[in-house]
Structure 1
Amino acid sequence: MASKHNRVSRPLATCLAALAAAGVFSGAHAAPPDTVRVIVAFKPGTAAQVKSAVSAARGAVKLEIFGMNAMAIDVPAVALKGLENNPNVQYIEEDVVRRPFALTTPSTGTPYAAGQLVPYGIKLVQADQVSDAFASNRMVCIIDSGYDRKHEDLAANRVTGEYDAGTGWWYTDENHHGTHVAGTVAAVNNSGTGVVGVNANGQLRLHIVKVFGKDGWAYSSSLASAANKCGAAGANVISMSLGGDRRSQTEQVAFDKLYTQGVLNVAAAGNDGNRAVSYPANYHSVMSIGALDENRQWASFSQYNNKVELSAPGVGVLSTIPMGQGVEAALSVGGTDYAAGAMEGSPVKTATAPLADFGLGDAVDGAVSGKVCLIARGSIDFATKVSNCEKSGGVGAIVYNNVAGGFGGTLGTTVTAIPSLTASQADGAAMKTQLGQSATVAVKAASYAYYDGTSMATPHVSAVAALVWSHFPRCTAAELRASLNASAQDLGPLGRDTRYGYGLVQAKAAYDRIKSLGCGK
């Protein structure tokens, strides 16, 4: 508990020192050994004095938090007690970690096709029933890993962003997460290319603040600073497909202030499939978003608690990733096409040859030389199976499941020269009746991918909020939030519940409700 002067309590200082000793603050840009990363909030006009105190304590300022009298510092754990007694310091807290909330397992589902691929979520949230002609009066700020501005489905958008000394330019995206989120918000409706987003006609203004680099995590100080930059840029909605399990006072102050200033904050509930709360989703000033599938069923990975406010599609969501940085699989035997997954680690390559039964793939067998190996799952790892096929002279490999359904496989650190795919048990059985027929195994570069996660649900809600709000710009953030909740499609037990919140966000229902009853009714 904080003292009456809002400084860090001695238990926190002791705790941080213990955590430092235990190596908890490890990571690509974590504090060095025997130091801790903390946020220091200070009295207005005392930044220079506090910096001097940090320097005297042999600490280093890592980030001056934009829009706040606060900074993130690395400091020896033993120096915390001295800093907490500094008369210019209001409080000190640990600079806790924030991570993207997404699972990267490809979906086996098929999106709805209408010229372009229309991801099922677009129709589920009724985005296709509300015009985005007025969306230029709204701005969605996406805090994530960046944005591929050269993407064929994103380049036409009205987008700005920030440079960050730690993560680089906003228009690069090393881990694909931010570009996927952005595609759900605003992938462009452009002549049968790729997919469409909730706001598909290039009217919505986007602002990108990049907090995640290749390592895929950031501190709460970076998130607070990013949120304030969103506000300064004029954002109406802040979309955050990220979070962590520990509260940050600094973060909460930032979001509370933005909300009172009329900004709608939206964040992912988390992917641990339990009752735990995540931050920033757990702050009152932030909407917490859970995930469901194309059948409107709760996603088993989606965290459930009394803070979940709305739900949206988060299973098998097809969206954009940086151009050519993903892979897609294609498989056909004897003219029959089969659903397949690319084995993680497979080279991007295509092979066509007669199909041959390679059993469990547990031994080299020259009988499959020049052929595509059909391999049963089981007994040994995937890398060994594919390697044995290659050593046998096989030109491609298909590993089919030993239980119902498809699966994702990885070759780990093993490098092979032949393309390899996964297939379902049923398709494997069907292909066994086609031995000797021509089989084509292809792993191709892709610019789109299916992702799972509350990360994917969050941009649906953020984008619907902007879409509906664009028709009623005089509504406040609080009023719009109330209208979205009141118009959601109730799912699960009657009324608000821990898995779905108020239910599935609905663009047309929210539009109709506000048009009929007014804001916030």
Structure 2
Amino acid sequence: MARHHTRASQSLSICLAALVAAGVFGSAQAAAPDTTRVIVAFKPGAKAAVRGVVSAAKGAVKHEIFGMDAMAIEVPAVALKGLENNPNVEYIEEDVLRKPFALTTPSTGTPYASGQLVPYGIKLVQADQLSDSAAANRKVCIIDSGYDRGHEDLSGNPVTGEYDAGTGWWYTDENHHGTHVAGTIAAINNSGTGVVGVNANKQLKLHIVKVFGADGWAYSSTLASAANKCGAAGANVISMSLGGGRKSTTEQKAFDGLYAKGVLSVAAAGNDGNRVVSYPAGYASVVMVGALDENKQWADFSQYNSKVELSGPGVSVLSTVPTGAGIDAALAVGGTNYAAGAMEGSPLKTATAPLADFGLGDKVNTAVSGKVCLIQRGTIDFAVKVQNCQSSGGVGAVVYNNVAGAYGGTLGTTVTGIPSVTASDTDGAAMKAKLGQSATLTVKASNYAYYDGTSMATPHVSAVAALVWSYFPTCTAAQLRTSLDNSALDLGTAGRDTKYGYGLVQAKAAYDRIKSLGCGK
């Protein structure tokens, strides 16, 4: 698999132009320049009156918020003052955007086809130390981009969801994000197939509310509706790998109401590596989750502030993606296998030929015709290097690092006819000693991928919450939250801090604490 690390600000590659607006979670363009989209909260029984005022103002109702006396509307900006003074209106606020938090495209790692892998995060949160045999009494609601119901590692789960006219069926996932989140929570323990999630034995109930379609955006009004739908579906835990930089009163009221009813909501801190508080994670009724790596070190993209409550694995997290949406790479030279990263944009092909040194790949050299090019990273774009290899008659390209470690690369919009992979600096040096020997590189479709982000940390915490709670179903959401906080592995500055919160969530430690001390201790 290809491990492709990007900076936090790049986030998931999603078009800004299309925004989720119409229908229950429908797709539509953003409000026109002379109009504005807001949430209007109104007094009980005043819906018809408010709709009439909106219509008279030449506006439109875009979304009626499920479970609340509120609606999202689009009206001329000049009409806002009149609405604010309407006796039926309680308040008006901007319908702010919400987006998924994730950093990378599918990325590299060792091949998994020969057997099932246990992602490092599963062990870090102690999920391998606590059976999910009791998890059938819990339900996790995932608010995201959908769920690949036919995936080999997800299809056996007890899962339900909803249809929406805008985003479509819950069991499709155009952005891959929701399926990755779901795999961390509940990828199935099926021998020889893929990975395992925190709750791996098909006991935990899942409910999917799809707020992100192909365009990848939603509003706070849609998120408030989605959260209330989770509550109506009987969810105990809501997992949200998403957010935005401004708060919403409507959204906050929805989550406060759910928390009061015993639902624990968990959300991502954000990926911009700064002190900004993201929402919904920043509300007091929601657990904010930061990210760390396999060495339990804070991930430098993870937003940090006084609201961070718990941490979870969020760097190079291996999980499920929609069938065939990931990329797997393999490389062998002279009978020795090397860890390969698929170059994003490479064709899905296999090439076998003698290995030849192509230097920096900065010019055409027909001496590599019919061979696999070994190219050092540096000086020029990856696409130019691979194109020069192809123009020289090369049949495949291996670009090895010029600094320590493995990496991921991309060809951008360039289309090449030969497969290309990346390799570490040390593997590059080892392969350079095998020039002339047979090299085979393969790039093929995969059902799994490595992603980075607080999006990946969040489902670890959500899933652990459900796992531990399943043993003590009489604990309240607030009590469970306190127990998770008090049993977390303290990292960074002693006690709660801005980067780790209380620390890395721990399933077995939380279970032991509640069993010994009782709920909420």
Report the TM range for the smaller structure's normalisation: over 0.9
In structure 1, the residue matched to 2:279 is 279
Per the TM alignment, residue 105 of structure 1 is displaced from its structure 2 partner at its CA by: 5.2
Q: Does 1:502 pair with 2:507? A: no
In structure 1, the residue matched to 2:365 is 365
Aligned residue identity for 1:303 = Q
Map residues 422-441 of structure 1 onto 2, 5 A cutoff.
Answer: 422-441=422-441
Question: For each residue in 1:239-277, what CA deviation from the matched residue of structure 2 results, as whole angstroms up to 9, or x when unmatched?
Answer: 001111111111000000000000001001111111111
Aligned residue identity for 1:137 = N
CA distance in 2, matches of 1:408, 1:112: 18
Give 3-state SS (helix, strand or coil) of 2:117's partner: strand
Seen in structure 2, the aligned counterparts of structure 1 residues 32 and 54 have a Cα distance that, compared at 3 Å, is: same
CA distance in 2, matches of 1:110, 1:399: 17
CA distance in 2, matches of 1:306, 1:110: 37
In structure 1, the residue matched to 2:118 is 118
In structure 2, the residue matched to 1:21 is none
CA distance in 2, matches of 1:507, 1:196: 16
8 A Cα contact 1:378 1:402, kept in partner:
yes
CA distance in 2, matches of 1:110, 1:397: 19
In structure 2, the residue matched to 1:402 is 402
Q: Does 1:456 pair with 2:450? A: no
Map residues 459-474 of structure 1 onto 2, 5 A cutoff.
Answer: 459-474=459-474
CA distance in 1, matches of 2:136, 2:106: 33
8 A Cα contact 1:93 1:249, kept in partner:
yes
Map residues 96-495 of structure 1 onto 2, 5 A cutoff.
Answer: 96-104=96-104, 116-495=116-495
8 A Cα contact 1:356 1:374, kept in partner:
yes
Seen in structure 2, the aligned counterparts of structure 1 residues 282 and 471 have a Cα distance that, compared at 3 Å, is: same
CA distance in 2, matches of 1:210, 1:455: 15
Seen in structure 2, the aligned counterparts of structure 1 residues 130 and 287 have a Cα distance that, compared at 3 Å, is: same
8 A Cα contact 1:355 1:374, kept in partner:
yes
CA distance in 1, matches of 2:139, 2:309: 22
Question: For each residue in 1:394-445, what CA deviation from the matched residue of structure 2 results, as whole angstroms up to 9, or x when unmatched?
Answer: 1111111222222221111111111111112222222111111111111110
Give 3-state SS (helix, strand or coil) of 1:374's partner: strand
CA distance in 2, matches of 1:419, 1:261: 54
CA distance in 2, matches of 1:340, 1:167: 36
Seen in structure 2, the aligned counterparts of structure 1 residues 115 and 397 have a Cα distance that, compared at 3 Å, is: closer
Aligned residue identity for 2:181 = V
Question: For each residue in 1:329-384, what CA deviation from the matched residue of structure 2 results, as whole angstroms up to 9, or x when unmatched?
Answer: 11111111111211111111111111111122222222211111111222221111
8 A Cα contact 2:63 2:73, kept in partner:
yes
Seen in structure 2, the aligned counterparts of structure 1 residues 476 and 41 have a Cα distance that, compared at 3 Å, is: same
CA distance in 2, matches of 1:65, 1:134: 34
Seen in structure 2, the aligned counterparts of structure 1 residues 309 and 110 have a Cα distance that, compared at 3 Å, is: farther
Question: For each residue in 1:137-162, what CA deviation from the matched residue of structure 2 results, as whole angstroms up to 9, or x when unmatched?
Answer: 11000000000000000000000001
Per the TM alignment, residue 106 of structure 1 is displaced from its structure 2 partner at its CA by: 5.3
8 A Cα contact 1:111 1:117, kept in partner:
no
8 A Cα contact 1:102 1:454, kept in partner:
yes
Seen in structure 2, the aligned counterparts of structure 1 residues 325 and 106 have a Cα distance that, compared at 3 Å, is: closer
In structure 1, the residue matched to 2:46 is 46
CA distance in 2, matches of 1:449, 1:215: 21
8 A Cα contact 2:111 2:330, kept in partner:
no
8 A Cα contact 1:100 1:241, kept in partner:
yes
Map residues 33-112 of structure 1 onto 2, 5 A cutoff.
Answer: 33-104=33-104
8 A Cα contact 1:42 1:69, kept in partner:
yes
8 A Cα contact 1:267 1:280, kept in partner:
yes
CA distance in 1, matches of 2:354, 2:113: 32
8 A Cα contact 1:147 1:182, kept in partner:
yes
Seen in structure 2, the aligned counterparts of structure 1 residues 163 and 256 have a Cα distance that, compared at 3 Å, is: same
CA distance in 2, matches of 1:379, 1:114: 37
In structure 2, the residue matched to 1:11 is none
Aligned residue identity for 2:344 = E
Name the TM-score, length of structure 1 as normaliser. Answer: 0.93
CA distance in 2, matches of 1:502, 1:384: 47
CA distance in 2, matches of 1:268, 1:500: 13
Give 3-state SS (helix, strand or coil) of 1:116's partner: coil
Aligned residue identity for 2:487 = S
Seen in structure 2, the aligned counterparts of structure 1 residues 455 and 376 have a Cα distance that, compared at 3 Å, is: same
Aligned residue identity for 2:176 = H
8 A Cα contact 2:252 2:280, kept in partner:
yes
CA distance in 2, matches of 1:44, 1:325: 46
CA distance in 1, matches of 2:373, 2:56: 66
8 A Cα contact 2:108 2:408, kept in partner:
no
CA distance in 2, matches of 1:145, 1:351: 35
CA distance in 1, matches of 2:460, 2:434: 43
Aligned residue identity for 1:287 = V
Question: For each residue in 1:170-191, what CA deviation from the matched residue of structure 2 results, as whole angstroms up to 9, or x when unmatched?
Answer: 0000011000000010011112
Per the TM alignment, residue 55 of structure 1 is displaced from its structure 2 partner at its CA by: 1.5
Identify the range of structure 1 (76-85 vs 390-399) with the bigger mean alpha-carbon deviation: 76-85
8 A Cα contact 1:112 1:120, kept in partner:
no
Name the TM-score, length of structure 2 as normaliser. Answer: 0.93
Per the TM alignment, residue 33 of structure 1 is displaced from its structure 2 partner at its CA by: 2.8
Q: CA RMSD in A?
A: 1.6
Question: For each residue in 1:258-311, what CA deviation from the matched residue of structure 2 results, as whole angstroms up to 9, or x when unmatched?
Answer: 000000010011111111111011100000011111111111111111111111
8 A Cα contact 1:111 1:318, kept in partner:
no
In structure 2, the residue matched to 1:22 is none
CA distance in 2, matches of 1:370, 1:113: 29
Per the TM alignment, residue 502 of structure 1 is displaced from its structure 2 partner at its CA by: 0.8
